[in-house]
Structure formats: C-alpha cells, structure tokens
Structure 1
Amino acid sequence: MPVVARHLMILGRVQGVFYRNWTVEAARSLGLAGWVRNRMDGSVEALVQGEADMVARFITLAQDGPPAAKVARIDATDVAEEALNGFEKKPTA
C-alpha cells in the first residue's frame, strides 16, 4: 500500500472541544504518523502520513471529530513524505 502525506486545515468550532487530543488518538489508532496543532486564527492544522487508505479514513473521521466539535470544512493538500515517528500534539502556531 502506498504511503501518502496530507496537510490538513480543519475549520469550524474545533478549538476548546478536545479536537487535538481526539486527533492524536484517532491517528495513532490508524497507524498514522504526523502532528496536530491549534492555529491563532481558530483553526486546527495537521500533517497526517501513512497508508493511503488509512489517511483517507482519518480525513473522513475528522469531518466529525469529537462530539463537541462542529467541523465546517477540511482543506487537504498533498505534501511530500517526511521522516516521522509517531503522532504528536504541537504548540499553537
């Protein structure tokens, strides 16, 4: 299965609703590598990398996120693969 990497900008009510922690748990459960962080503009940014079908599954799940989230949209961009280990939560940028 090919490995892909996607940069995600997640917009809507996604801060203060456990979205980053949910992202870490969901990504790890799918065997994905990458990171997630809040943005100063109220969005959440993530880089997810792994098997193409698992990345696609993650993006589908991220449309809902945790129960308190209200995702308006996810902008996904293909990016180059990186040497990543695990999935982590980064500080706000």
Structure 2
Amino acid sequence: MPIAFEITIKGKVQGVFYRASTRDKATELGISGWCMNLDNGDVLIHAEGERVDLNALLLWCKVGPPKAKVDQVLHRETELKNYSGFRIRRA
C-alpha cells in the first residue's frame, strides 16, 4: 500500500545536482512526487511509494550525489497526493 514521506535534506545540497540525482533515484525505485530547493539551502522532497522503496530513498538521501555533503535527513509521513512520475519543482 503506497504511503508518502516529506523529506528535508540539510547540508551542502544545492548546486551539487542533488535534485537531479534524487529524481533519477526516485525513478529507479518507482517513487513518484517532487523535489525542490528551499530558500534556506535545504532540499525538500515529497515522495510516494511503497514503504520499502521510500526507506531505500531515505538511505540514499543520507549520502546523495558525489559532491553533496549531507548533514541531516528529516522525514515524516504525510498525506498521499497520488502523483505520477517524479519531477523537479522550481520555487
């Protein structure tokens, strides 16, 4: 049964292809939703899928792409919106 996570990534995660890499990983895992940069330097992700796949995305988020330096990953379960596909949002 699909669920949704809101994930906030803190650290050096802007300007290092974090969003594009997140989209690629989410697509690989069959996760739908979106990600976007926040004004405070964080990346926000809304991810929907099976719990096992979302947990795999969370593990990936703790490392991210090669140039990222992730300090903290926060997540909470949130309302399912039934997105199709995964895209990068612009603020």
Same fold by TM-score, threshold 0.5 exceeded? Answer: yes
Is there any run of 5+ residues in structure 1 with no aligned partner, and where? none
Instruction: State the partner residue of 1:29.
Output: 28
Instruction: State the partner residue of 1:89.
Output: 88
Q: Kindly indicate whether the alpha-carbon contact (under 8 Å) linking 2:48 and 2:82 is maintained by their aligned counterparts in 1.
A: no
How far off is 1:83 after superposition? 2.0
Letter in 1 for 2:61: A
Q: State the aligned residue count.
A: 91
Structure 1: which 4+ aligned runs deviate by more than 3 Å? none
Distance in 1, Cα, partners of 2:7 & 2:56:
14
Deviation digits for residues 28-84 of structure 1, max 9, x if unmatched? Answer: 000000000000100000000101100000000110000000000111011011121
Normalising by structure 2, report the TM-score. Answer: 0.97
Identity across matched positions, percent = 32
Instruction: State the partner residue of 2:44.
Output: 45
Distance in 2, Cα, partners of 1:51 & 1:78:
12
Q: Kindly indicate whether the alpha-carbon contact (under 8 Å) linking 2:6 and 2:75 is maintained by their aligned counterparts in 1.
A: yes
Tell me the C-alpha RMSD between the 2 structures: 0.6
Distance in 2, Cα, partners of 1:51 & 1:17:
27
Instruction: State the partner residue of 1:73.
Output: 72
Distance in 2, Cα, partners of 1:35 & 1:88:
5
